């Protein structure tokens, strides 16, 4: 069983929600549950990409802290990205439990807000945990509070495992009446800009000419020698050393069946054609997608998020780090 925890607070040391999460993870570890924790404040520049991580989860915990009003910006931005880019068919099978701790008024309203949001997305909900905690130390020293947290964690485990039936909620009907966002590889800001440009005939004509030029360029590349040595050279030239970033990657190219194997360390990169079964991240893509990446028009994250990458297996965070050390121009 896989459970993903998305924490939408600011990560301050005495945040009571962090204490609750840690105690829940201890229970899940005893139950041999695989837990993936995502602190949204650490992904504040790439929150839209996290919507794809839900696919691997059997259950989801949305945890946040009410510091002055509502569920907070990070959690709101994450739920917006799930609405835009998330796999609604997969979400329909996932149970969610809200966890909301508050230092002011509004924990019950915030919990209900998370429940309504998840049901509008089409998912199912379990009983959540919410409360007013003035001092997070109370959660550590009060055994009754610990018992409440542990029982809720066990209850969520049983809910995800047994998948109980429940009556349909009226707010799920909104999905049938609200126009669902298109499955496009654009951020919200890019979508808004595009809506302004599409009405400009001169702009549209210019884009068509650019597309034709790019098509001719890619066809020329495909007609060239299929050795693919240009990819290895491009990757080596694009490498920028960054401390703390390391990992191994394999890219399978669909057209010729070849594999590009990369080993990244904080100071160097090794790139060659070959094969390996021990890479941290395995990627499948066609030549056109790899051309887009090595020309600087697309990142590995964007390729995965938009579906241009046929498949990806491995640690998503390591894939994100690959874009940090490869700067294609």
Same domain, 173 and 296: no
Residue 183 within any structural domain of the chain: no
Give this prediction's pTM. 0.55
For residue 117, what are the domain limits? 2-177
Q: What is the CATH number of the domain that holds 116?
A: 3.40.50.360
Domain boundary residue, one of 177, 192, 207: 177
Q: Is residue 211 part of a domain?
A: no
Number of domains in the chain: 2
272: domain CATH number is 3.30.1050.10
Are 249 and 137 members of one domain?
A: no
**Which one of 113, 144, 177 terminates a domain?**
177
Per-residue pLDDT of the chain (329 residues), as tens digits, is 899 999 999 999 889 999 999 999 999 999 999 999 999 999 988 888 898 899 889 999 999 999 888 898 999 999 999 998 888 889 999 999 999 999 889 999 999 999 999 999 989 999 899 999 988 888 989 999 999 999 999 999 999 988 888 777 776 665 555 545 455 555 555 554 555 555 456 666 776 777 777 766 666 555 544 445 678 888 999 999 888 888 999 999 988 888 999 999 989 999 999 998 889 999 999 999 999 999 989 999 888 888 888 888 888 888 888 888 999 87
**Domain match, 25 and 135 both:** yes
What is the distance of C-alpha 169 from the center of its chain? 26
Shared domain for 255 and 135, answered yes or no, is no
Q: Which of 112, 144, 177 is the last residue of a domain?
A: 177
Same-domain check for residues 172 and 238: no
Residues 261 and 163 in one domain: no
17 and 111 in a single domain? The answer is yes
């Amino acid at each position: 069983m896989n459970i993903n925890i998305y924490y939408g607070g600011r990560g301050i040391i005495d945040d009571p929600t962090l204490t609750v999460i840690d105690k829940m993870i201890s229970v899940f570890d005893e139950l041999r549950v695989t837990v993936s924790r995502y602190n949204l404040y650490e992904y504040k520049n790439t929150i839209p990409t996290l919507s794809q991580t839900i696919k691997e989860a059997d259950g989801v915990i949305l945890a946040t802290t009410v510091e002055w009003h509502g569920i907070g910006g990070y959690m709101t931005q994450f739920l917006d990205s799930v609405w835009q880019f998330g796999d609604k068919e997969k979400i329909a099978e996932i149970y969610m439990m809200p966890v909301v701790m508050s230092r002011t008024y509004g924990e019950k309203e915030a919990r209900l807000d998370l429940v309504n949001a998840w049901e509008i997305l089409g998912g199912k909900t379990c009983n959540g945990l919410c409360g007013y905690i003035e001092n997070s130390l109370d959660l550590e020293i009060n055994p009754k509070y610990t018992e409440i947290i542990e029982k809720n964690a066990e209850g969520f485990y049983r809910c995800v495992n047994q998948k109980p039936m429940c009556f349909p909620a009226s707010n799920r009907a909104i999905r049938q009446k609200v126009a669902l966002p298109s499955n496009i590889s654009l951020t919200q800001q890019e979508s808004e800009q595009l809506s302004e440009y599409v009405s400009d005939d001169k702009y549209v004509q210019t884009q068509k000419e650019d597309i034709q030029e790019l098509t001719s360029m890619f066809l020329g590349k495909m007609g060239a020698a299929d050795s693919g040595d240009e990819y290895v050279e491009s990757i080596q030239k694009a490498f920028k050393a960054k401390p703390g970033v390391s990992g191994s990657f394999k890219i399978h190219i669909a057209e010729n069946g070849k594999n590009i194997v990369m080993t990244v360390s904080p100071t160097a990169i090794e790139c060659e054609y070959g094969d390996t079964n021990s890479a941290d991240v395995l990627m499948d893509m066609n030549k056109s997608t790899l051309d887009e990446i090595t020309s600087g028009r697309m990142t590995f994250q964007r390729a995965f998020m938009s579906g241009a990458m046929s498949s990806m297996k491995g640690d998503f965070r390591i894939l994100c780090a690959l874009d940090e050390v490869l700067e294609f121009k």
